[in-house]
Structures are given as C-alpha cells and as structure tokens.
C-alpha cells in the first residue's frame, strides 16, 4: 500500500514538473513573439547604427511650439513647449548637422532636438529644457550615432533600442526556455529510470 502511494505521489510530481516545464517553454515562446513584433522592428528600422563623436556648435531655445502628434486630437492633448535646437559638428564627416535625442524625437517633431513628455506644469518643462541646453553647452564633446549610409544627415544622442538592450531583452526568454527544456528532460529521464527499475 505504501509503495502504491509513493508511486502515485511520484507520478503527480512528475506531471506537475512536466506542466511547469511546458508552461515555461510556452511563456518563453510568447515573449519571443512579443519582442519580435515590438522591439525588433524598431531596431532594424533605425539607420543610426554607427557611433562617432559630436561637438556642440550651438544650442538655442526657440519660441514655443505645439506637439505635432496632437493634430486632430482633443485640445487637452495639445501642449506647447520651448523648442531646443542643438547643432553639432560630426567628426566622421566634418558636417554641421542637427542633433536629436532619439529616433522617436525626429518622428515627433523634426524642428526640435528634444520633445518632452506631456506634463501639467509648463514651468517644469521649461526648466528641464533649459537644463538640457546648459548641459550641452557645458559638455560640448560626447558620443553620438549617425547614419553611415547617408540617408539621414542628422544624428541622434542615443538609440531607443541599442544592441545591448536587444540582447538583454532576449536574455530572459532564453533563460526561461532553457530552464523549461531542462525540466522536461529531467522528468523524461526520471520516468525512463523508473520504468527501467520496474522492468528489472
């Protein structure tokens, strides 16, 4: 009787472990799919792939502009902000080009180097942009990214999804997939050993 209970408990444990392993594999595949349709397209679409050194030539704050993405939306979504324009000397080619914060900044407003997120307090936005402008004037030489193919003549300060970030995004589903496969293999080995012991 005790032996039957032990065998039943062992089978239940193996079933739960097998379900856990299959669940981990399924979750990792879903994470791979999610990363593949969200992060990977942005990474492959970016043409600013080569890092170089930029030197600030001028950083000016123009008159307030309205968020261009808010056209046709409700009035509460439209907010003005000071337009910061940063021009740099591109070391790779020696050209004078405009600097943008990320790829998304260029899409949201090509006239400004920095586009703030919407906040209720306009003074905070103004203070933040003034701080960014003063930092550019203080630290005039810094790394930036440009398009080696020449399709984009401007440069960006940082990439939304750099290579290290993409590898880090794939790290967790890879670990989960490996762990799930390892659990399934161990369960199958345990079942094989049990059958082999019973047969002997």
**DSSP 8-class letter at 102:** S
Q: For the chain, what are the domain ranges?
A: 18-46+164-199, 50-160
pLDDT of res. 160: 86
- CA distances from residue 48 to 99, 121, 124, 129, 161 in whole angstroms, order as listed: 12, 33, 30, 24, 11
- The conformational region for residue 61 under phi > 0 = left, psi -120 to 50 = alpha, else beta, is beta
With tokens 């056209």, the residue in question is 71
**DSSP 8-class letter at 68:** G
Question: Within 10 A of 70 (CB to CB), how many other CB atoms are there?
Answer: 15
136/187 Cα distance (integer angstroms): 58
- pLDDT values of the chain reduced to their tens digit, one per residue, 200 residues: 544 554 565 677 778 888 899 999 999 999 999 998 888 888 888 889 888 899 999 888 887 666 554 444 444 456 678 889 999 998 767 789 999 999 888 888 888 999 887 665 778 888 888 899 999 988 889 999 998 887 888 999 998 888 788 888 899 999 999 999 999 998 888 878 777 776 76
3-state DSSP assignment of residue 174: helix
54/113 Cα distance (integer angstroms): 14
pLDDT of res. 73: 42
Residue 113 class from Cβ within 10 Å (0-12 exposed, 13-18 middle, 19+ buried)?
Answer: buried
On the CB side of 13, how many CA atoms lie within 13 Å of its CA?
Answer: 10
166/58 Cα distance (integer angstroms): 33
């Amino acid at each position: 009787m005790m032996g039957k209970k032990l065998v039943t408990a062992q089978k239940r444990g193996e079933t739960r472990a097998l379900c856990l392993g299959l669940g981990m594999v399924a979750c990792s595949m879903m994470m791979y799919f999610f990363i593949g349709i969200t992060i990977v397209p942005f990474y492959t679409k970016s043409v600013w792939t080569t890092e170089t050194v930029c030197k600030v030539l001028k950083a000016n704050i123009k008159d307030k502009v309205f968020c261009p993405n808010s056209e046709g939306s409700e009035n509460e979504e439209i907010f003005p902000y000071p337009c910061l324009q940063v021009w740099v000397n591109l070391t790779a080619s020696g050209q004078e080009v405009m600097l943008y914060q990320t790829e998304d900044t260029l899409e949201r407003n090509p006239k400004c180097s920095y586009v703030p997120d919407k906040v209720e307090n306009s003074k905070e936005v103004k203070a933040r942009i003034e701080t960014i402008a003063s930092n550019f004037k203080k630290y005039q030489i810094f790394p930036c990214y440009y398009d080696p193919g020449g399709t984009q003549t401007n440069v960006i300060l940082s990439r939304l999804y750099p290579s290290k970030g993409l590898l880090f995004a794939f790290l967790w589903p890879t670990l989960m997939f490996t762990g799930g496969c390892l659990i399934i293999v161990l369960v199958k080995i345990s079942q094989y050993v049990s059958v082999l012991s019973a047969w002997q």
